[in-house]
């Protein structure tokens, strides 16, 4: 703007005109904020003529030109735009909506929804002229059949609108329905992407932090998409195992209800035996009786022994055992029976649903090269680009010392490791043994340390009165050697649970089908082959070099690149043929989740 130069009278007159305009009766200062529309019934001239050459536009005057009104003008330039009555009512509705949270996750959903409405001027996102948009109707139809993907449609409070007739609503009711639709959509996507449950609410041994999608970003994505159903489904996990379980669930829904066939418990059923349970086994695996052999006219046909556990049925059992990660011996024992009959009280559909839930907890990116140990499967895998490059059997924690499910990164390995015995083992196992057999520590080759004059010093176990010692007073170390509990090597991914993978001198346990015997760590059957698999990109290191070090001093080797490690708990797994196999619920996580989810 231009002013008459060197004219104090002109400046005084200009200020007088501006102050007069600001205090005109019935018009607040905020009505003259930059870009604000002035109501027709209160319009005034926004320009005050000072001279023929000079005009002053109120909307462009700098606050420093008004010494007596600095604060008022500055406030007018930064104030929140005034909302009309309808928008103000919607703003109030959004604030009330945001405060009505039931828990932390719901609060985050509501906060994100409210933030998007505020950003978009409290305009409706799903309702137009009192009627649901076609995109909203499509998303509602999808949510109503959420059970197809293992979710519960009842978890989503959808707007009660008659989509067939397009019922017209008042502005307030339509906006409430809009908010309701937004919350349902955001919650549905959150459940698709990261599950319904907080893992640690199921068990402390499920230490997983699902990647929760940002509610505001989700709502913006859905609302801006031409196809919000496709956009919502894009939030689901992409892991092949998840997709296999999802297909299995949908296949189950399409099949007619079949009577569940249970094979009775009893003594071991071995190939060649005759047992009434063989007929149950044939029905369970869908293996027909063999046809009777053709005979001559004068010879009576020998009847087929329907109770004979013959070679055809043995082959079917071995195939089942292979898919279920069991020993392929054809013997029907407790482990094979558990998998054949399924977990007591848990239907296959429920088992699939809780396993889909646990897949939704998993990181979206497992790592192009990663290690995964599945606890109920008692097996570890090394994978590159989705292809298994190595697998071997493992031993996991007992039920009272559960191996924790979590994700971390392997950073180094140790050859000839010593073992620092955990306090829980010292307290619950070693001290009772030492009290009943004073030579226990010496016989087992353990070193005992105690705090003496402020320093940790090794003590002679034979000179200690173990009846007067508590676990907190000592520490125990097992030096490297053939009998060391960690074997020749351990693989470290430092974590708060003190869980790692290691060799073991107790090899016989790997011959068992159920292998929950450790105190929580993961014992590996073939650690040197496992080392070769994970060291394929490690310069100058392989099992041959490691074996040359075995029997010597303790050596720590840092990996050139950290490797993602996932300890997981899946009792429904993808088989090599793409189908699904079922495992025993060793820690009871399936049962807990079925109960919590009300399945």
Point out the residues that are catalytic: 502, 521
- DSSP symbol at 290: P
- 173-198 in b/e form (b: 16+ CB < 10 A) is ebbbbbbbbbbbbbbbbbbbbbbbbb
Q: Tell me how crowded residue 407 is: count the other CB atoms within 10 A of its CB.
A: 21
Residues 337, 121: Cα–Cα separation, whole Å = 62
Instruction: Tell me the DSSP string of 351-363.
Output: HHHHHHHHHHHS-
Distances 276 to 261, 289, 371 between C-alpha atoms, Å: 14, 13, 44
How far out from the chain centre does Cα 426 lie? 34
Give yes or no for a contact between 410 and 534, defined as CB atoms under 8 angstroms apart: yes
Give yes or no for a contact between 65 and 15, defined as CB atoms under 8 angstroms apart: yes
How far out from the chain centre does Cα 461 lie? 47
Tokens of 438: 């004073």
User: Which residues have CB under 8 Å from 245's CB, separation 6+?
Assistant: 352, 355, 356, 359, 572, 574, 580
Among 93, 60, 92, 65, smallest CA distance to 77 is for: 60
- Continuous segment of H or E residues that includes residue 469: none
Give yes or no for a contact between 470 and 442, defined as CB atoms under 8 angstroms apart: no
Beta strands in 207-357 (DSSP E): none
Q: Tell me how crowded residue 339 is: count the other CB atoms within 10 A of its CB.
A: 20
Give yes or no for a contact between 174 and 127, defined as CB atoms under 8 angstroms apart: yes
Tokens of 16: 């007088």
Residues 45, 1: Cα–Cα separation, whole Å = 17
Helices (H), 376-512: 423-425, 431-436, 440-444
Residues 443, 433: Cα–Cα separation, whole Å = 11
Among 97, 139, 140, smallest CA distance to 118 is for: 97
Q: Tell me how crowded residue 486 is: count the other CB atoms within 10 A of its CB.
A: 23
């Amino acid at each position: 703007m231009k002013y008459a130069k060197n004219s104090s009278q002109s400046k005084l007159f200009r200020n007088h005109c501006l102050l007069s305009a600001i205090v005109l009766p019935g018009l607040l200062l905020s009505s003259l904020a930059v870009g604000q529309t002035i109501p027709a019934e209160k319009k005034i001239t926004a320009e005050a003529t000072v001279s023929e050459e000079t005009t002053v536009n109120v909307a462009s005057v700098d606050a420093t030109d008004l010494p007596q009104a600095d604060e008022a003008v500055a406030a007018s330039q930064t104030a929140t735009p005034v909302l009309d009555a309808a928008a103000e009512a919607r703003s109030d509705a959004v604030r009330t909506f945001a405060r009505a949270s039931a828990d932390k996750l719901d609060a985050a959903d509501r906060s994100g929804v409210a933030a998007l409405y505020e950003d978009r001027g409290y305009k409706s996102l799903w309702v137009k002229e009192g009627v649901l948009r076609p995109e909203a109707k499509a998303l509602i139809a999808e949510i109503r059949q959420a059970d197809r993907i293992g979710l519960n449609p009842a978890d989503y409070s959808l707007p009660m609108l008659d989509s067939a007739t397009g019922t017209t609503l008042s502005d307030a009711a339509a906006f409430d329905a809009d908010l309701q639709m937004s919350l349902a959509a955001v919650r549905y996507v959150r459940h698709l992407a990261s599950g319904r449950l907080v893992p640690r609410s199921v068990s402390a041994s499920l230490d997983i932090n699902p990647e929760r999608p940002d509610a505001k970003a989700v709502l913006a994505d859905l609302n801006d998409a031409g196809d919000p159903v496709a956009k919502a489904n894009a939030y689901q996990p992409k892991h092949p195992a998840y997709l296999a379980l999802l297909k299995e669930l949908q296949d189950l829904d399409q099949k007619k209800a079949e009577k569940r066939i249970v094979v009775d418990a009893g003594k071991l059923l071995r190939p060649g035996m005759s047992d009434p349970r063989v007929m149950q086994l044939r029905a369970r695996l869908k293996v027909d009786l063999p046809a009777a052999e053709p005979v001559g006219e004068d010879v009576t046909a020998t009847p087929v022994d329907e109770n004979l556990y013959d070679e055809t049925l043995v082959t079917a059992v071995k195939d089942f055992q292979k898919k279920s990660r069991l020993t392929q011996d054809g013997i029907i024992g407790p482990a094979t029976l558990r998998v054949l009959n399924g977990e007591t009280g848990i239907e296959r559909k429920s088992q699939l649903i809780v396993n889909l839930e646990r897949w939704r907890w998993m990181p979206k990116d497992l790592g192009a090269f990663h290690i995964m140990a599945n606890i109920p499967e008692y097996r570890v895998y090394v994978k590159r680009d989705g292809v298994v490059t190595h697998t071997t059997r493992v031993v996991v924690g007992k039920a009272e010392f559960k191996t924790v499910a979590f994700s971390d990164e392997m950073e180094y390995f140790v050859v000839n490791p010593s073992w620092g015995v955990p306090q829980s083992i010292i307290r619950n196992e070693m001290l009772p043994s030492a009290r009943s057999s004073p030579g226990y520590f010496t016989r087992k080759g353990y070193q005992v340390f105690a705090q003496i004059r402020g320093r940790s010093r090794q003590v002679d176990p034979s000179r200690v009165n173990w009846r007067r010692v508590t676990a907190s007073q000592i520490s125990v170390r097992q030096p490297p050697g053939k009998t060391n509990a960690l074997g020749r090597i351990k693989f470290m991914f430092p974590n708060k649970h003190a869980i790692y993978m290691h060799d073991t001198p107790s090899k016989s346990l790997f011959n068992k089908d159920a292998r929950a015997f450790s105190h929580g760590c993961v014992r590996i059957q073939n650690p040197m082959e496992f080392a070769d698999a994970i060291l394929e990109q490690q310069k100058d290191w392989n099992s041959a070099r490691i074996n040359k070090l075995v029997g010597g001093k303790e050596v720590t080797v840092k990996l050139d690149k950290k490797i993602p490690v996932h300890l997981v708990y899946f009792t429904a797994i993808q088989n090599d043929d793409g189908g699904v196999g079922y495992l025993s619920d060793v820690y009871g996580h399936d049962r807990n989740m079925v109960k919590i989810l009300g399945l």
